[in-house]
Amino acid sequence: MHPWLQTPPGRYLLDWEQAVLDRAVADVFGFHALQLGRPELDALQANRMPHRWLALDIDDDAGAVLAPSFGADDQAPRGVALHCDFDALPFPNQSLDLVVLPHTLELARDPHHALREVERVLVPEGRVVIVGFNPASLWGLRQRWGRMCMRLGFGSLFLPRTGDFLGYWRLRDWLRLLSFEVESARFGCYRPALRSQRWIDRFAWIEPVGERWWPVLGSVYFLSAVKRVRGMRLLGLARTKNAKPRATPAVATNKHKEAN
C-alpha cells in the first residue's frame, strides 16, 4: 500500500485522514496509546499521552518509511516502533487507553480476530479509532470495475491490490457485538477516482457538496468507539412482594387512673 500512498490520490487521502485523526485523538486522555500499522500516518501526533507506540505487522516491511517526527520529540521519546502479530498483541489485558487502526482491519488476515484483540487490550472506557475504505463509494465502484476487467484480461485497479474493503455498517455490527459504543463517525474524500493531481484539484468543489447531499458515500470513513463494560449490581436480601405488614402492637391505657 505504501507505493500507492505516494501517488496524488494517496496524498489526497493521507491529508484528509491526518486532519481527521488529529482532531479525534487530541482530547483523548490516559497513559498508553497504540497505532497499528500505516507508518505513513502519524495518527498520535496530536495526542498528549506519555506513552505512545507504533506497531507494524510482522510481514510489513514499511518500517523504513517511518515519518521523521514519529519516534522523536523535542523533550522526550515520542514512541517506539515494534513488529508484532495483530492477532496476538504483546500487551496485557486492559492496559491501553487508545488504539488507532488506520486501514488496519482491511489489510489484516483475520479482521474480526484483530478487533477482538483490540477489545482485549483496551481498558474499560478506552477508545478505538478506525479508518477504512468505503466500498459504497466512487472509489469502491472503480475498484470493483477494475477487478472485473482484470478477470477479462484488461484494465487495472485504482486502489492497492492487497486487502479487502470492510463495510461501514458491518464494522458497526462487529463493534456492537464486542460491547463498543460508537460515539462519532464521518465520511470523506468525495472526489472521483482520478490519478492526476491537476484533476483532483479541479474537483475540490465536490467536497462540501458530498458532505451535504450524500454524506455516507465518501471514499473513506472514520469511526470512533468507546469500550463499555457493564457494571456490577449489588443484590440484597430477597423480599416477598406480597408480604403482609406486621401489625403494630396496641398500647393500653388506664382511663380511670388518668381521670384521678
Per-residue pLDDT for 65 more than 50? no
- The model carries a pTM of 0.79
Summarised one tens digit per residue, pLDDT across range 6-15 is 899 999 999 9
What is the dihedral angle through the alpha carbons of 80, 83, 86, 90, rounded to the nearest 10 degrees? Answer: -70
24 and 222 in contact (C-beta within 8 Å)?
yes
Q: Note the helical H segments in 46-178.
A: 111-121, 138-151, 168-177
Type of residue numbered 159: L
Backbone angles phi, psi at 119, to 5 degrees: -65, -35
171 and 132 in contact (C-beta within 8 Å)?
yes
DSSP-based three-state secondary structure for 180: strand
2 and 163 in contact (C-beta within 8 Å)?
no
Domains of the chain with bracketed CATH: 2-229 (3.40.50.150)
End-to-end CA distance of the chain: 107
Return the residue matching grid coordinates 462540501: 208
84 and 90 in contact (C-beta within 8 Å)?
yes
In this predicted structure, what is the pLDDT of residue 128?
96
Summarised one tens digit per residue, pLDDT across range 215-236 is 888 999 999 999 998 764 545 5
In this predicted structure, what is the pLDDT of residue 249?
57
Summarised one tens digit per residue, pLDDT across range 134-189 is 998 888 888 888 888 777 877 788 887 766 788 899 999 999 999 999 999 999 99
41 CB burial (10 A radius; 0-12, 13-18, 19+)? buried
| Cβ neighbour number for residue 234 with a 10 Å cutoff | 5
Return the residue matching grid coordinates 388506664: 254
Per-residue pLDDT for 70 more than 50? no
Type of residue numbered 51: H
Whole-number Å distance between alpha carbons of 78 and 73:
5
- Mean confidence (pLDDT) of the chain: 82
Backbone angles phi, psi at 57, to 5 degrees: -65, 155
**252 vs 190 pLDDT, higher one:** 190
44 CB burial (10 A radius; 0-12, 13-18, 19+)? buried
- Percent of the chain with pLDDT strictly greater than 90: 45
